[in-house]
Amino acid sequence: MDPWRLIYHPDGDTADVVSHGAAVAEGRIAGKYQLSTTLVPNTVIVQRSRTRGIIAGADVRVDRDAAASAGIEVAQAPRQGRNSARAVSTVPLGELMAKGSRKFDAEEVEPDDPSVILYTSGTTGNPKGVTLTHRNFHYQCTTVVPSIIPFTPKDTVVGVLPLYHVYGLANGLVATLLFGARFVMVPQYSPAALLEAIAENEATIMPAIPSMYQHLLTIARARSTAMPRSLRYCVSGGAPLPLAVLREFADVFETEISEGYGLTETTSSVCCNLSGEGYKEGSIGRAATGVEMRVVDEAGGEVSPGEVGEIVIRSDTVTPGYWNNREATAAAFSGDGWFHTGDLGYRDEEGVFFITDRKKDLIIRGGFNISPREVEEVIMLHPKVHEAAVIGVKDKRGEDTVKAFVVVMKDKTLSEREIIDHCTDTVAPYKMPRIIEFVETLPKSATGKVLRSDLRGETVDMRLVEQETA
């Protein structure tokens, strides 16, 4: 075999790493068309960059200033055209579209045909596929949403929530388009990108999660320039929004802001704590139009106001069941069609709902139920605590013990003793955290919910790829 050429570049820069390969490929192709007589051999290029760098695809927006100050070079990969290199065994969407027809009439579907399957990770075992039907989306957008979010065709909606999540998909993209409004897509969340999207497009409605509201406020506090005032209605969901954040945000951005509640299984929102007169701190509000909601005991009987039980929901916005998973479906529904959310909570005299905990997060010690959320709230009252999460861990005798994970405020120090002392005054002895672990961050889901199952160590690392055994 003819020898191959080795090009060895131990000290190039980031742009070199992109350019060498491209140059060799182009040079060869050009040679072919010019019927060049000097045959260029097959080539292996071994190279590295002498500084840190990022080679970014043509569509990526990289923060150039941040890169420069971090000493990171940025080089753009060449934009791929119709005739440029393409990854093997794939079909470019652009090519598929170019061949496709501009006209296509929608197929007739039945209301109960599945339209989307969304996978939610359970605490243990494999994720479950939640089947959502055309009826579910239709009902969510035409009946539930209008009682929660006042969309009109004149609105501009910020699409910052990921569209693979039910909240972003059902209350964001689909609802916006079925109301004839305008949807601003934010491909990669950063506080600055979100603020820019709101300001440049004069966005009027924003569904988002608590951490995003917090981040926007952090920017607002740091900047002397005025914040955009175009937002007129915001919804927070996915995790509880601290009241202080809600108030400050409403004030700084001159907008209404409400807290919603919903699940993948309910095609997102089913409940909303509307700001204004009916607002109740810490609640998820009343059931939305078209949604029946109850609090039940273990036997499925409705409990009286103020009593904690499991929240169950019945509505046309509720999934018919889990994909390929009859057991999970049977376990989640009671005979008369009530969907069991697994969330514990209560209803007050006025029909306003409050969530206390996830059923599976409940800690049981000496026969007493301990609400992790209650203990967390006490710990978070400490001025040096940024965030806290509480779980039950088994002690030597196999009984639940309260363990707290604590994230300390930036630049502050805090001892175990200080936390214990702080809790002693406010919580019953059996609820006291026995183990305290300081951590830098808490594991969270895409919508910012703390993943207690990760803290319990129940989740296996599903990201690893196993080697098949021959």
Partner 1 sequence: MFGRKRKAQEAARGGGLPIGLGRALEEMVRRHRRREALVFEGKTVTYQELEESANRVASGLADYGIRKGDRVAMMMPNIPEFAYTFFAIQKLGAVAVPFNTMYKGREISFILKDSGARAIVCLSNFANLINELREDCPDLEHVIVTGQRTLVFLDPDATVNVQIVCERSAFGSSDGALREIGVVLVDTLAELGVKDAWYKHQGAVRVGGRKIATILLSEIENLYVANVVTFLKQMDAEPLFKVLYVPPEIKDKALEPMTGIAEAAGNEVTFEQFKDAISSVLAARLGIHLEPGELTRDELIAYEKNRALANRI
Among residue numbers 115 through 144, which ones bind partner 1 (CB under 8 A)? 115-119, 126-127, 129, 134-135, 137-138, 141-143
Q: Does 178 bind partner 1 (CB under 8 A)?
A: yes
CB 63 within 8 A of CB 82: no
Q: Which two tokens stand for residue 154?
A: 């004149």
| Nearest distance from C-beta of residue 67 to partner 1, angstroms | 5
Q: Does 93 bind partner 1 (CB under 8 A)?
A: yes
| Nearest distance from C-beta of residue 357 to partner 1, angstroms | 20
* Residue 283: exposure state from Cβ atoms within 10 A (0-12, 13-18, ≥19): buried
| Nearest distance from C-beta of residue 358 to partner 1, angstroms | 18
| Nearest distance from C-beta of residue 141 to partner 1, angstroms | 7
Q: Does 409 bind partner 1 (CB under 8 A)?
A: no
Segment interacting with partner 1 (CB under 8 A) among 177-185, 221-229, 238-246, 426-434? 177-185
| Nearest distance from C-beta of residue 257 to partner 1, angstroms | 13
CB 295 within 8 A of CB 345: yes
Q: Does 37 bind partner 1 (CB under 8 A)?
A: no
Q: Does 406 bind partner 1 (CB under 8 A)?
A: no
Segment interacting with partner 1 (CB under 8 A) among 192-200, 223-231, 357-365, 419-427? 192-200
DSSP one-letter string for 318-329: S-SEETT-HHHH
Of residues 1 through 30, those in contact with partner 1 by CB under 8 A are: 1, 3-8, 10, 14-30
Q: Does 323 bind partner 1 (CB under 8 A)?
A: yes
CA–CA dist 389, 432 (Å, integer): 13
Which one, of 233, 229, 235, 224, lies nearest residue 202 by Cα?
Answer: 229
| Nearest distance from C-beta of residue 80 to partner 1, angstroms | 6
Q: Does 349 bind partner 1 (CB under 8 A)?
A: no
- Residues near 27 by beta carbon (within 8 Å), at least 6 away in sequence: 40
Q: Report the chain's terminal Cα–Cα distance, integer Å.
A: 34
| Nearest distance from C-beta of residue 202 to partner 1, angstroms | 11
Of residues 276 through 305, those in contact with partner 1 by CB under 8 A are: 276
Segment interacting with partner 1 (CB under 8 A) among 109-117, 261-269, 326-334, 427-435? 109-117
Amino acid (1-letter code) at residue 234: C
CA–CA dist 310, 297 (Å, integer): 6
Q: Does 465 bind partner 1 (CB under 8 A)?
A: yes
| Nearest distance from C-beta of residue 369 to partner 1, angstroms | 28
Q: Spell out a b/e string for 31-65, using b for 16 or more CB atoms within 10 Å of the CB, else e.
A: eeeeeeeeeeeeeebeeebeeebeebeeeeeeeee
Determine which residue in the list 82, 189, 218, 285 makes contact with partner 1, applying CB under 8 A.
189
Q: Does 106 bind partner 1 (CB under 8 A)?
A: yes
Map residue 29 onto helix, strand or coil.
helix
Of residues 48 through 77, those in contact with partner 1 by CB under 8 A are: 48-64, 66-67, 70-77
- Between helices 191-201 and 210-222, what is the axis angle to 10°? 80
* Residue 137: exposure state from Cβ atoms within 10 A (0-12, 13-18, ≥19): buried
- Residues in the interface with partner 1 (CB under 8 A) total 166
Q: Does 153 bind partner 1 (CB under 8 A)?
A: yes
Binding mask 424-443 toward partner 1 (x if CB under 8 A, else -) reads ----------------xxxx
CB 372 within 8 A of CB 363: yes
CB 310 within 8 A of CB 344: yes
CB 175 within 8 A of CB 155: no
